[in-house]
Structure 1
Amino acid sequence: LLINWFQYRKHSENPSSVYRTREEIQEVRSKSDPIMLLKDRMVNSNLASVEELKEIDVEVRKEIEDAAQFATADPEPPLEELGYHIYSSDPPFEVRGANQWIKFKSVS
């Protein structure tokens, strides 16, 4: 499997620096972007309409925006909870060193 890698931006992410022209990005997306190719194939095969795919895009963008909003608005957990959901919180037997975060205490 050969995967084309196309760098859209400079590594600096400076918004004033232009790495690719808009036309170049659109051309590459139309010819080799796997998501765009799948969408085209689905529409051409009558598996989905353009409108259905646009609705899915709107739903996905909304879900991403909600998740980003939650992630930025949610307070950071206390330091002693950083290991939660990594290890079993109730091991069936004593496991020495199973929760490496237990030795840390939150300063807040």
Structure 2
Amino acid sequence: MRGRESQWVGKFIDSLEVRKGSVTPGDVAVFAHYLKDPARLRASFAWFRAFPQDIQDNAVSRKTKLTMPVLAIGADGSLGTQVASQVRPVRDERHRRGRPELRPPDLRGTP
């Protein structure tokens, strides 16, 4: 990884970007700069290493309904309806508020 921080950050961001080029090479350079610090790099990778435990924790958490209102926000370009689909089974319907059929305005192309 040493010496390839910019390449890693650039490819990672490119794989997630909906609007290609929204994260500039200068932005990538800033993120990559911080990954040159071994402690920050280690912490960054620890986030990914935690996924297996997150999966186990979520399996346990799913068994109990949430007892408070839940705000779930997705976007067409990223998670879309997945966020609402993930929350729906664990929310308690008695705490449902709002009108999920309403959609925010399409802001694509807005600076």
TM-score > 0.5 by shorter chain: no
Structure having greater relative contact order (Cα 8 Å, sep ≥ 6):
2
Higher Cα Rg: structure 1 or 2?
1
TM-score, scaled to structure 1: 0.31
TM-score, scaled to structure 2: 0.30
